[in-house]
Amino acid sequence: MQMQAETNLMSDADMAEEIVIETQDVNVFYGDNHALRGVSLDIPKHQVMALIGPSGCGKSTYLRCLNRMNDTVEGCRVVGKILLDGIDIYGPQVDEVLLRARVGMVFQKPNPFPKSIYDNVAYGPRIHGLAANKDELDEIVLSSLEKAGLLKEVQDRLHSSGTGLSGGQQQRLCIARALAVRPEIILMDEPCSALDPIATAKVEELIDELKENYTIIIVTHSMQQAARVSQRTAFFHLGEIVETGPTEQIFTSPIDERTQGYITGRFG
Amino acid sequence: MSFYPFLIALLLLSAAGYWFGSKKALGAVRQSTSFLTPRPHQFGLFVAIWALLPPLLLGVFWVVFQVMPLQLDAGTNQQIDRVFFPVLGLLAAAGGLFLAIRRIGPDLKVRKSIEAVVFGILILASIISILTTVGIVFSLLFETIQFFKKVPMSEFFFGLNWSPQTALRADQVGSSGAFGSIPLFTGTLLITFIAMCVAVPLGLLSAIYMTEYASDRFRSVVKPLLEILAGIPTVVYGFFAALTVGVFLRDTGSAIGIDIVSESALAAGFVMGMMIIPFVSSLSDDIIMAVPQSLRDGSYGLGATRSETVRKVILPAALPGIVGAVLLAVSRAIGETMIVVMAAGFAANLTANPLEAVTTVTVQIVGLLVGDQEFDSAKTLAAFALALVLFIVTLCLNVIALVVVRKYREKYD
């Protein structure tokens, strides 16, 4: 009942918003473990959607469904419908490899390849053939670094190793690397959990800028972060979505007791 | 008194020491006011060690003593060994035991003493293994110096002719002896090269399959199977090379009009490659597994396929380690003996043609030392020179490989 009421309230408020990802009754199983139970969630375009909830609640699992990264996990089974611009991404005609180029991902731990900064960013464009020649590739690499706010810091050492950067710079390099493939959606799985507060602030600032052109879905353990960067928030608990709505509403007047409990720090 | 009763008496003595020590500790130490005392069995162990250590040291001293014998006749010497040593040993044991039991009390740092003994045992074990290696090297070195007194270095290192038959008597004919080692080393290189051509692609590709493509269930079944290959005795591979592969190649060759000898380098190298496959694949497997999962995720997350991820991320990241693994495999192939003894033969041809027979350094070492030999002839001593060069080559390869592998390991820590 509560879910129902909430959904209505949400759709009234956001009628004008364009929905880019629509998930309907998604269930995920790792072997016998039922990790995600009947999750339905709409993700509006060019906004930041935060997924919060205690550890093991399924928020990362949900995130990894959206670009089919779960396919690389052995024994993982996804049931339900996930529509990206109206197309079921688990449908038979969809190539999950191309899907991942449209739905980019940034991981918890910065994971630059042990290559130069330039080659890290050029990796995606090269495998997808996005650049016809060296000049175009240069252009993609530089503009991606620029968008990720990293260009000034690294422009005089583009050919030194990406693993030699600081943690925060590495994470922004990973964001640049994802941007270089020109995705529409960027999934971020706790992108700041391995970073110090200053690096975190930079990444958050970047997320705020990126939402102009990209749809961002971010999993975070920090409720302050969710409050700072997101427009909408979904609260996961025990594999289900308990509550979803505009971030402000979730943090100021949550409907469900569990949400309130989690946000005020009574559990989780 | 002979040796075994002495040994049994010694062990009984130390067991008694253990018992007495524990017993006394229960009485003496438990009554002390100190709260934290060692356990009684530690006192027992302390006494037992003190019972065993003096006769052991005495034994070592005895052996060293015998190396520089007193000017006594053999009978007297043996008499001393038979009677004097066991009695002295038991006395030493009893003395140690007595002193140790007397020292038992609340102030005895028994745990530290035991720890010191353990420390000593560990150091001794590593010193023994290092000294053995050093001893082997020196014995090779001295015999090699002997060899180079008889045969000039220039002939050994630059001679193109290997025929190590020296005259046993002055009137023998046709046995001047030629000790040019180049044909042996080219033969070794040729066979090793062929083996690597077989082992590296197959081993590496199977490692890639196992780590990146195979399901966990398949991997858990097939990986042990692959490692069984590593457990086959090399002499069995030798059979296979000599009786199956060699003959098959010869027959196939004659069927299509190519002349292949049945002891060809190709057969030996091919089978040696088969032998090394599990070595390469299991090392590469470990190295590829060590590439962090996060790099794979990063690549997949950018829309790369599996093979793109393998070629552009995993292999470049693992390359130094794989190079190290291949170098280790090369040094194994160079040192491998049994397969080439059975399959490659003894003909020292200087050729790069894999269809001809060649011989290797290891085969010649075997040939030189098998049977009755004069120990000071150039022929026998040549084996040591060959062995030393072989040892140095494989040592260098191993050192390079280990440095490369270690450098690679540091990258992700």
User: Sorting pLDDT into bands at 50, 70 and 90, what band is A11?
Assistant: very low
Q: Identify the weakest region by mean pLDDT among B3-12, B32-41, B346-355.
A: B32-41
Q: Does the pLDDT value for residue A268 go beyond 60?
A: no
Q: Which residue has the higher pLDDT, B34 or A23?
A: A23
ipTM: 0.87
Check residue A83 and give its pLDDT: 93
Mean pLDDT, all residues of chain B: 84
Q: Quick: pLDDT tens for A77-95.
A: 999 999 999 899 998 889 9
d(CA A40, CA A27): 10
CATH number listed for the domain at residues B178-408: 1.10.3720.10
- Dihedral pair phi/psi, residue B201, rounded to 5°: -60, -45
B5 Cβ contact list (under 8 Å, min separation 6): B86
- Check A114 against B312: CB less than 8 A apart: no
User: Sorting pLDDT into bands at 50, 70 and 90, what band is A3?
Assistant: very low
Q: Quick: pLDDT tens for A155-193.
A: 999 999 998 999 999 999 999 999 999 999 999 999 998
CA distance B304 to chain A (A): 6
Q: Which of B289-303, B344-358, B399-413 has the highest mean pLDDT?
A: B289-303
- Check B305 against A97: CB less than 8 A apart: yes
Check residue A5 and give its pLDDT: 44
For range B194-209, the mean pLDDT = 95
For range B213-235, the mean pLDDT = 87
Check residue A102 and give its pLDDT: 92
Q: Identify the weakest region by mean pLDDT among A103-112, A212-221, B89-98, B194-203.
A: B89-98
> For residue A217, which residues of chain B lie inside 8 Å, CB to CB?
none
Q: Which residue has the higher pLDDT, A173 or B79?
A: A173
Q: Which residue has the higher pLDDT, A12 or A236?
A: A236
Check residue B85 and give its pLDDT: 77
Instruction: Give the residue extent of every domain in chain B.
Output: 3-108, 178-408
Rg of the Cα atoms in chain A: 19
Burial of B224 (0-12, 13-18, 19+ CB in 10 A): exposed
B123 Cβ contact list (under 8 Å, min separation 6): none
Check residue A8 and give its pLDDT: 47
Check residue B310 and give its pLDDT: 95
Check residue A2 and give its pLDDT: 46
Q: H/E element holding A119? A: helix A117-128
d(CA A256, CA B16): 75
Q: Which residue has the higher pLDDT, A221 or B3?
A: A221
For range A249-265, the mean pLDDT = 90
Check residue B110 and give its pLDDT: 81
Q: Reading across the β-sheet that carries A19-30, which strands appear in turn?
A: A33-44, A19-30, A76-84, A87-88
Q: Which residue of A has its CA nearest to B217?
A: A74
From B215, B295, B303, residue closest to A113, measured CB to CB: B295
**What letter would DSSP give residue B169?**
S
From A104, A109, A114, residue closest to B301, measured CB to CB: A104
Report whether A184 contacts A20 (CB < 8 A): yes
CA distance A87 to chain B (A): 18
| pLDDT > 70 in chain A, percent | 93
CA distance A114 to chain B (A): 6
For range A230-253, the mean pLDDT = 93
Disruptive mutation site among A65, A70, A96, A113 for chain B (greatest number of B CBs within 10 Å): A113
Q: Which residue of B has its CA nearest to A163?
A: B411
**Residue that is written with structure tokens 């590495």 in the block:** A170
Check residue B108 and give its pLDDT: 76
Q: Identify the weakest region by mean pLDDT among B63-67, B139-143, B230-234, B297-301.
A: B63-67
Report whether A203 contacts A168 (CB < 8 A): yes
Check residue B408 and give its pLDDT: 67
Give the helix, strand, coil percentages of chain A, each rounded to 5: 45, 25, 30
- C-alpha distances in angstroms, B161 versus A100, B148, B337? 64, 17, 21
- C-alpha distances in angstroms, B334 versus B33, B89, B248, B320, B327? 67, 49, 24, 21, 11
**What letter would DSSP give residue A131?**
-
Check residue B333 and give its pLDDT: 92
Q: H/E element holding A235? A: strand A232-237
Check residue B150 and give its pLDDT: 85
d(CA B264, CA B355): 5
| pLDDT > 90 in chain B, percent | 28
A119 Cβ contact list (under 8 Å, min separation 6): A113, A162
Ramachandran sector of residue B174 (left: φ over 0; alpha: ψ -120 to 50; beta: rest) = left
Q: Does the pLDDT value for residue B74 go beyond 70?
A: no
Q: Does the pLDDT value for residue A44 go beyond 90?
A: yes
Check residue A241 and give its pLDDT: 92
> For residue B303, which residues of chain A lie inside 8 Å, CB to CB?
97-102, 124, 127-128, 181
